[in-house]
Structure 1
Amino acid sequence: MSKHLPLLLLLAILISCDSKDIQYSDNGFSWSDPEVNELYLASQNRNSEIVEESLSSENGFLILEALKIAGSFPSEKFTDEIKNLLRAEDQEIRKKAAFAAGQNGSPDLLEPLKDQLSEEQIPSVIKELLVSIGKIDGEQSIVFLSGFNPDSDAEIEGQTIGLFHCLLNNNITNSAVRQMTENVGNKNLSNEARRYAAGYLGRLPVGFDLNRYAGKLREAYTISNDEEEKQHLLIAFSRCNRDVKILEMLKGISENENEDFRYRVLALQSLQFFPYIEARESVYKAALSDIPKVAKEAANYFINLGNANDAVQYLSLGAKQKYLPASAMLLQAACKYGSKPVIEKVLPYVQDQFKKTSDPYDKAALMPIFMYSNEGIEELSLYAKEGNHPVIRTTALNTLTKNLLEDYKEDPDKVEQYADGLTNLLFASDTVVVRQTAGLFMSNDLSLQKYLDEKTISRIDTIEELSSLSKFLKTGSKPGNSRLRYNPSDYDVGILENYSDTINAEIITNEGVIEIELYPDIAPITVINFLKLSEDGYFSNNNYHRVENNFVIQDGCPRGDGYGHPPFRIISEFSPNSFEKGMLAMASSGRDTESSQWFITHRFSPHLDGAYTIFGSVSGALDEVYKVQTGTEILDIVITQGK
């Protein structure tokens, strides 16, 4: 017996180390708690030491907040504490720890997740553990999940979502694909499980062959009464491009004026993977739709897949379509594939429309057609420098850049014809145009720098915005990540005590009112930032600069072209919340680059889960979201309830 005493003593020590006496204040959680305030101030500067200390605290509320932050701020310093918290007595802490582990992504956390899964009894925690296993990149995760045999709704949902995250990490197995095709047609599964299964199939790499499952997918679409599942099945149909029945389904949906516009947009997108000659007539009908998003998607089809034989037809459709941005896209297709006589018919009309319209977004829609003119480079260079609205200037430059890169691939010597116009843009008054143009001159492949004379180089040296280009011309060294120069925010979460748990607001546009609810409990810094910018009038008279057909609408740019932001950044605040339709979230170009731009989803978009900050949702009718077009103006954002 005595020889076992050292082992028993060691076990007792280990158990005592793992089991903290976690307490929750009788007064409940408070944003004004000094420890919570210190934690969030530290998090905005990504101070890992304070977060690590909070994870090891005995204050239950503080641990939960620290785990939320750890889920958006991966650090090796957190792994040991996350491992310990996976075994906490409190189920909410275990659940948050599981999310943080998946977001952290460390392979060292895979076995602790699996170990806790083998013991866990709480369905919501089981689900989160399975999801997080899928987020850990590597073969072990997908092998485990593919071989896992679920026997409850929580396990099925967790396995399905976990496999979806394996796919996002480019880990795919035939057994996982087969499992997803079984799930979408299974009426006994929850809507969530079927949605993620459909999302998985629609997210498979372009060209992945699902033709063998076409019959099952058709049946799943027919029997489903869930619009989000059906939309992702429409995307998955693009991987069944040899199935005649699916082709007929897509054609029927795309041309049906009584069909939900979201279904029609997705059907048109999937038709791009079927033979053009088979889909053409249906897309012609869609191109004349009175629904702007449908007409634009049909026009985009012809830009991508058109041919010379049908160029006159695109011209005819463009002349008939009354919505100018869609008309412009159809005319662009006519110019892209048409002969000189076709182009000569289009250009005078486009120039006339450009002069007549006062809407800068309509002008921007017409600008890609300018490249088909002999004076196109010169005209676009002029608009990029002197256009009277940021969206005109950046659209002109982006059009020039796109054509420059295409011409370079065809013949590198064609770069020279762009040199003079781009050189002039280095001295534009718009700093965004200057920075983007400077980036082109710093491309070693394009070799534009060889067209700069000594006088121009001397002038470059005197302009602050061109300091990076000046250094490049002298040393060949490119700048680092400029976003690191942004000032981090220093918001005090204590001000949330002035608001109720539910904060409502109205986004008032020239098309209607979008009612939203904010989520301070899952994204406090983001909500404070949105409240402050709204109350300061920052969003007033802004325009929605980005509308992706049946995906998102995006605003928050004071320039109206997507390149504007205040001189600070805020942290990412990721959460386990799923990107359902109507989610309000922050736009970003990477972790911790959020500032003022935000978006609202048109549909269930699971590939965004855990990668973008959700901070609210649409609480009113989504029809008001669907009305928004590129250029729709926000008149004001008003906080209506909660202060």
Structure 2
Amino acid sequence: MTRSLRLWPLLLLLAACARTPRPSADLANKYHDATIRQIGTAQDERNTAALLPFLTNANPTYRREAALAFASVQAPAAVPGLIPLLRDADLSVRRAAAYALGQTGDSTAVDSLRGRLLKETDNAVRRYEHEALGRTVTRSSLPELWRVEALTDTARASALALGLSRAALRGLISPESIRRTVLVLNSPRLPERARLVAMVGLSRTRGYDADLARLAQETLLRVAQKDRSYAVRAAAATTLGKLAAIPAAPATASTVATPAAAGTVAAPATSGGVTPAGVLARLATKDPDYRVRLSAIRALPFDAETYSASRKAVFYALSHDRAPVALTAAEWLLAHAKGESGPALAALADGNKQASPRVRAALLQAAVRHASPAARPSLIETIQKRYAAAPTVYEKSFLLQALAEDPASFDLLKAEAFAAGQAPVVAGNALGALLTMRRQAEFPAARHADFAAAMRQALASGDVAQLGTAAEALTDAKLYPQAQPDDLAALRQAQAKLQLPREIEAWQGLQQALDKLEKAPKPTPTPVATAQQHPIDWAVVQGVPLGQQVRLRTSKGIILLELKPNEAPGAVASFVTLIGQHFYDNLYFHRVVPNFVAQGGDPRGDGNGSAPYNLRSEFGDLHYEEGSVGLASAGKDTESCQFFITHTPTPHLDGRYPIFAQVVGGMDVVHKLEIGDQILGIELVK
């Protein structure tokens, strides 16, 4: 025992060294090349004319870099220059051209992409081209996805999976595309990423009829229980939940044995008596990965026939040692509890002392929502006492949501929203709670005028969070059936006081409200900041070698990030500069969505803050995997200081939010992060 103790310091040192390898000085990023910097500057400036000549440069490196630049610029004018690169002798150029065409999303590229798919021999390029086709097809050209080739091998099945998924994520689906996706999922030896993107496509698909639901369900039941990937199982659970509400069609040859292309395996004819509700309940309580459990909980059915079994799984999950699982269970009860006693739900909040404040607040909110009128006053009194004693603004914000369930709390919420010196987190959530309360059917007519006065006060406050809530309220036709001149004037006055680009998100919210209320024929363009207001500091970029790591110290532990200067030079330069200014020290993680993201870096602490500048979006050829670090935005070219870390692969974010780093250590800490956890400091690993 004594020898073991003496060895601990050495073992810990070795472990630390293994987790934090120092980047090599020889691994210089690509921006030490002056021509690539020139291409990067043109990309940042959205200078299409300056980039186009590089597409025909004699050096394939520069052709590739120019194509990748257009993946961020997304200029339709580049399409005629990108199409010839699909035939380039260099594989990396062909991949970059296909990626850029997909990112541009111009339907004029469909025929060229389809033609190249018939001739392309490299499997990796084919996957890029098929994915690009899924991003460029229209509703009428959707069949081009499966006309280009039969599913004769795994590589082609993988390519088709990417194309079908990208189309589905754009809302382009048909009965045949659903059938094809199911067939792809039954292809033998399909790689994990292909299975995942196909399943994510199904999970976001609408328009299932009974026959299609049954066909998909057979495959989903198998995948949800047996797939090796937790991410695929989780996506299958989500889709099962959507299909559970569709009445099953009788088993027929036409619904089960859909004709398959050569090399595919048709969906199994029967599910062996296994039901979606039973599988979801089992996943919710027994799957080894917590992300699958919480996906299954969200998907649990709540009809009269299945409620009892779902309830049992939910109550079991409430005691789970992982806060995200318990939170998801509490939120299920909030949304779906039937016949539950309000006091009994409140007792769950009191009885589970290990639960996080967010879980307890969600249970209290469920208690108020489902309580009898006689039981409500005492529950509200309990919540008010907890609110007064809550030690953090985030715990207060959770309890404000619970108070929003009862109109009797109107005056308290309004007072908290406009109290002098109020913390932005509390003020914004209090006003949001007022809007939630106003939308309830039982909100008293006698207080309609008081609510309207609160929204006018919010517009006059100048606070960006409150402006957003007021704009949302004014565009709700149920609350405001007719736009009033005074309201329109107040919206314009509030918008005129905003500081751009820092408050661009609030500007957008107000403008969207004005467009809707004034019935504008098309949305008003956002005044995006140009590169001149904050150009990329290439000296900073060149000082970041490949493999450069960053130590993110949080109140839950240390997270190690590896920066991606080649793919996101502007984002990396901004992040490194802000680190040097200690910008992030003592900020918070203000948003955590279980099995999705943990987001932080907002100086306000409520998701509405920003640095004094915006960045241009950099969409490098990267995918959102577990631990990817992206920049939050309010739309293309509006990124600033807020960042998020993904809990799981999220293909629907690919090419829409810049990735500038990857977690390489401490992912267990990321999974433990909750709203209100603090960023103690960030520093480069020397």
Decide: shared fold, TM above 0.5.
Answer: yes
Deviations 1:185-216 (A, max 9, x none): 44522222222222222222287653344343
Residue 615 of structure 1 aligns with an amino acid whose one-letter code is F
Deviations 1:302-332 (A, max 9, x none): 2212235543432332332332211111111
2:55 is the alignment partner of 1:55: yes
Deviations 1:40-98 (A, max 9, x none): 33322322221223334334333222211211222222011101222222111111001
In structure 2, the partner of 1:318 is: 349
Q: 1:268 aligns with which of 274, 297, 308?
A: 297
CA distance in 1: counterparts of 2:198 and 2:389, whole angstroms? 49
Name the SS of the counterpart of 1:86 in structure 2: helix
CA distance in 2: counterparts of 1:527 and 1:166, whole angstroms? 31
In structure 1, the partner of 2:655 is: 610
Q: 1:251 aligns with which of 255, 272, 281?
A: 281
RMSD of aligned alpha carbons = 3.5
Name the SS of the counterpart of 1:80 in structure 2: helix
In structure 1, the partner of 2:416 is: 383
Residue 424 of structure 1 aligns with an amino acid whose one-letter code is Q
**Change in 2 beyond 3 A, CA 1:253/1:461:** closer
Aligned residues: 609
Name the SS of the counterpart of 1:565 in structure 2: coil
In structure 2, the partner of 1:352 is: 385
CA distance in 2: counterparts of 1:460 and 1:216, whole angstroms? 55
In structure 1, the partner of 2:42 is: 42
Residue 224 of structure 2 aligns with an amino acid whose one-letter code is Y
CA distance in 1: counterparts of 2:450 and 2:137, whole angstroms? 46
2:264 is the alignment partner of 1:235: no
**1:223 CA displacement:** 3.1
**1:391 CA displacement:** 1.2
Residue 42 of structure 1 aligns with an amino acid whose one-letter code is A
CA distance in 2: counterparts of 1:273 and 1:206, whole angstroms? 21
**Change in 2 beyond 3 A, CA 1:441/1:112:** closer
Q: 1:367 aligns with which of 376, 379, 400?
A: 400
CA distance in 1: counterparts of 2:139 and 2:206, whole angstroms? 18
**1:562 CA displacement:** 0.4
Q: Is the 8 A contact 2:551 2:559 kept in 1?
A: yes
In structure 2, the partner of 1:564 is: 609
2:361 is the alignment partner of 1:328: yes
Q: Is the 8 A contact 2:231 2:292 kept in 1?
A: no
**Change in 2 beyond 3 A, CA 1:68/1:406:** farther
In structure 1, the partner of 2:253 is: none
CA distance in 1: counterparts of 2:659 and 2:332, whole angstroms? 32
**1:282 CA displacement:** 1.9
2:338 is the alignment partner of 1:307: yes
**Change in 2 beyond 3 A, CA 1:477/1:301:** closer
CA distance in 1: counterparts of 2:242 and 2:34, whole angstroms? 54
In structure 2, the partner of 1:395 is: 429
Q: Is the 8 A contact 1:251 1:279 kept in 2?
A: yes
Which residues of 2 match residues 130-529 of structure 1 at below 5 A?
Answer: 130-139=130-139, 141-147=141-147, 148-205=149-206, 210-241=213-244, 245-256=275-286, 259-272=288-301, 275-322=306-353, 323-386=356-419, 388-406=422-440, 415-428=448-461, 430-434=463-467, 436-437=469-470, 440=473, 446=480, 464-465=497-498, 480=524, 483-484=527-528, 488-529=533-574
CA distance in 1: counterparts of 2:327 and 2:482, whole angstroms? 35
**Change in 2 beyond 3 A, CA 1:307/1:486:** farther
Name the SS of the counterpart of 1:433 in structure 2: helix
Q: TM-score by structure 2 length?
A: 0.81
CA distance in 2: counterparts of 1:105 and 1:460, whole angstroms? 37
Q: Is the 8 A contact 1:251 1:282 kept in 2?
A: yes
Residue 553 of structure 1 aligns with an amino acid whose one-letter code is A
CA distance in 2: counterparts of 1:461 and 1:553, whole angstroms? 31
Gaps of 5+ in 2: 1-27, 249-272, 500-505
CA distance in 2: counterparts of 1:309 and 1:222, whole angstroms? 31
Q: Is the 8 A contact 2:43 2:72 kept in 1?
A: no
Residue 586 of structure 2 aligns with an amino acid whose one-letter code is N
Deviations 1:372-407 (A, max 9, x none): 455522221221222632211111121122333455
Q: Is the 8 A contact 2:74 2:103 kept in 1?
A: yes
**1:596 CA displacement:** 1.3
CA distance in 2: counterparts of 1:94 and 1:228, whole angstroms? 30
**Change in 2 beyond 3 A, CA 1:416/1:277:** farther
Q: Is the 8 A contact 1:146 1:175 kept in 2?
A: no
Name the SS of the counterpart of 2:317 in structure 1: helix
